[in-house]
Amino acid sequence: MTSTPHDSFFTYTFRHPARARQLLRAALPPDLVAAIDWDSLELLPATFVDEGLRTQFADLLFAARCGGERVLIYVLIEHKSGEEPRVVFQILRYVIRIWEQHARDYPREPLPPILPLVVHHGDKPWSSPTSLRDLLGTDGVPPMAMDLLLCLQPDFRIAVLDLAGVAEDDLRRMVDDTLAKLAVLCLQWLHGADGAAILERLLRWCDLFDELRADHDRGQDVGAVCSYVTMVTEMDPFEILDIWKYHRGRPLMEVIHHFGKPIQESYRRGWDEGERRGRIAGREVGLQDGLEQGIEQGIQQGILEGKRTLLHQLLRGRFGELPEDLAQRLTEASTRDLDRWLQGLLTARSAGELLT
């Protein structure tokens, strides 16, 4: 199944009910928050998003008690700009799939109420309709027929938690758990940022990372944060750790001066290495087209080696030294395999499980 770093990181963080309830309490209407028994919240092992839309959406399905009834809470994380006008229609399809599955599993029981929630992060605030009726073409309907026509249409609405519309300090206050705080901050503020902005934000979050590292039982959470930052910024994971360690007690400008240039250079390493390899290959061919082809091949090889090295470092940090057979499998991996393994790293329980 195709996934993205956002998908994996969000799922890793909020599949745990203790963290999910913090996000849900911040997102749902107050009357619903008051009525739900949050101690009863549980994750259901199911996904309903179409394979072809996995680069845009990821989903989690929870169940909880609301008074004397069991309700389902369907959470969809949306990775793009929120400008797709028919998202509400897509979510209705997923909700119907949940009901269809429930009807198959429990044919004699009523359908459970479902609370559909979209968590959006992106460059722009959410702007899509949140009601199915907003998608209907009714401009030409005579006024005398409008009310009757609308009452015969499905009245489906979604709740939206728009991280793009929340200030950084408010994101910190939205949830209590340290990993959950880092998750909403990283999801909203790192993707697409340049080197200077990334460094500035990572420095502002040093206190959260220190809290996470201070708890020795949360080493896997530390690895999850570093893995996500690495995948969306192309920074070396040990560089991330160095930034947070170096910052302690030092003025902000000193840290920026110390790390600013290396971070900028890290974005040029792949190209520089590719160009170097390409010039060697081009000289061997002795032709200009050979030079250009060699440069392109060198760039691709440099990217491949960089991904292989990165994955090896992340695996070693989470699971220790790799057995010889897994190390060999990593050495022989294709770009497609490396991309798939990097995306699955956050939720893998062992190196052997991942490298299959």
Asked if the structure places residue 132 within a domain, the reply is yes
Q: Which two tokens stand for residue 183?
A: 């998750």
- Render pLDDT for 47-75 as a digit per residue (tens, 0 to 9): 665 554 444 556 788 999 998 899 999 88
Contacting residues for 208 by C-beta, under 8 A, at least 6 apart: 172, 178, 181, 182, 185
Per the CB < 8 A criterion, the answer to whether 232 and 262 are in contact is no
Query: Domain boundary residue among 213, 235, 266?
Result: 266
The residue from 110, 143, 172 where one domain ends is: 172
Residues 11-29: what's their mean pLDDT?
Answer: 93
Total-model pTM: 0.67
Of the two residues 343 and 184, the one the predictor is more confident about is 184
How many angstroms separate the most distant Cα atoms in the chain? 80
Q: Does the pLDDT value for residue 259 go beyond 60?
A: no
pLDDT tens digit string along 179-200? 999 999 998 888 777 666 777 7
Residues 29 and 162 in one domain: yes
Instruction: Say if 181 falls within a structural domain.
Output: no
In the predicted model, is pLDDT for residue 36 greater than 70?
Answer: yes
The model's pLDDT over 125-183, given as tens digits with 9 standing for 90+, comes to 888 899 998 888 888 888 889 888 888 888 899 999 999 878 889 999 999 999 999 99
Instruction: Clarify whether residues 259 and 295 are in a common domain.
Output: no
* pLDDT of 251 strictly over 60: no
Question: Do 257 and 273 have their domain in common?
Answer: no
Segments forming the whole domain that contains residue 332: 269-354
Mean pLDDT estimate for the chain: 76
73: how many CB neighbours lie within 10 A of its CB?
25
Same domain, 283 and 329: yes
151 is a domain residue: yes
* Assigned token pair, 167: 């200030």
Clarify whether residues 296 and 325 are in a common domain.
yes
Same domain, 277 and 262: no
Residues 110, 113, 116: CA angle, nearest 5 degrees: 145
Average pLDDT (207-224) is: 82
My answer on whether 228 and 292 are in the same domain is no
Q: CA-to-CA distance for 98 and 45, rounded, in angstroms?
A: 12
The Cα 162–Cα 87 span in angstroms is 14
**pLDDT computed for residue 249 by the predictor:** 57
Inside any domain, residue 180: no
Domain shared by 22 and 118, yes or no = yes
Domain co-membership, 347 together with 305: yes
Q: Which two tokens stand for residue 164?
A: 């793009």
274 and 242, same structural domain? no
Residue 165 covered by a domain: yes
Same domain, 257 and 110: no
Q: What percentage of the chain carries pLDDT values higher than 70? A: 69
Higher pLDDT, 251 or 184: 184
184 within a domain of the structure (yes/no): no
Q: What's the domain count of the chain?
A: 3
CB 224 within 8 A of CB 46: no
* The pLDDT value given to residue 58: 67
Domain boundary among 244, 266, 288: 266
Q: What is the mean pLDDT of residues 82-100?
A: 83
pLDDT tens digit sequence for 263-290: 445 444 444 544 455 444 444 444 444 4
β-strand pairing of 69-78 with 36-44: unpaired
Q: How far apart are CA 2 and CA 109, in angstroms?
A: 34
Q: What is the pLDDT of residue 291?
A: 40
Question: Which of 18-27, 102-111, 216-225 shows the lowest per-residue confidence on average (mean pLDDT)?
Answer: 216-225
pLDDT at position 62 is 93
